[in-house]
A = this chain, B = another copy of it.
Amino acid sequence: MLFCVRMDVSIPRDLDPAEREDTVARERAYSQELQRSGEWAHIWRIVGLYSNISIFDVDSNARLHEILSNLPLFPYMSIEVTALTEHPSAI
């Protein structure tokens, strides 16, 4: 099942720089692992923002929540989820 997820990141200025660097690195690794497994189908940067628009392809709502709530940057994100389905005009 497909979902469009928009993530807007806002890391607090006073986060310890080492923790910041580590969190961002873990976020990247986590995202890439899910991209390889196919569950994180697409990720694009929004121009001019520290934000992304992503497409997830997961087995259930529960799995999507598990993925999103375990994002290393989850505490610093606002997230918007839109349920998608196949479009009748898609080829």
Contact = CB atoms under 8 A, between A and B. Distances in A.
Interface residues of A, number: 46
A55 B53 CA distance: 11
Contacts of A46: 4, 82-84
Contacts of A64: 47-48, 83, 85
A49 interface: yes
A23 interface: no
B81 A47 contact: yes
A13 B60 contact: no
Interface of A: 1-5, 12-13, 27-28, 31-32, 35-36, 42-50, 52-53, 55, 60-62, 64-65, 68-69, 75, 79-91
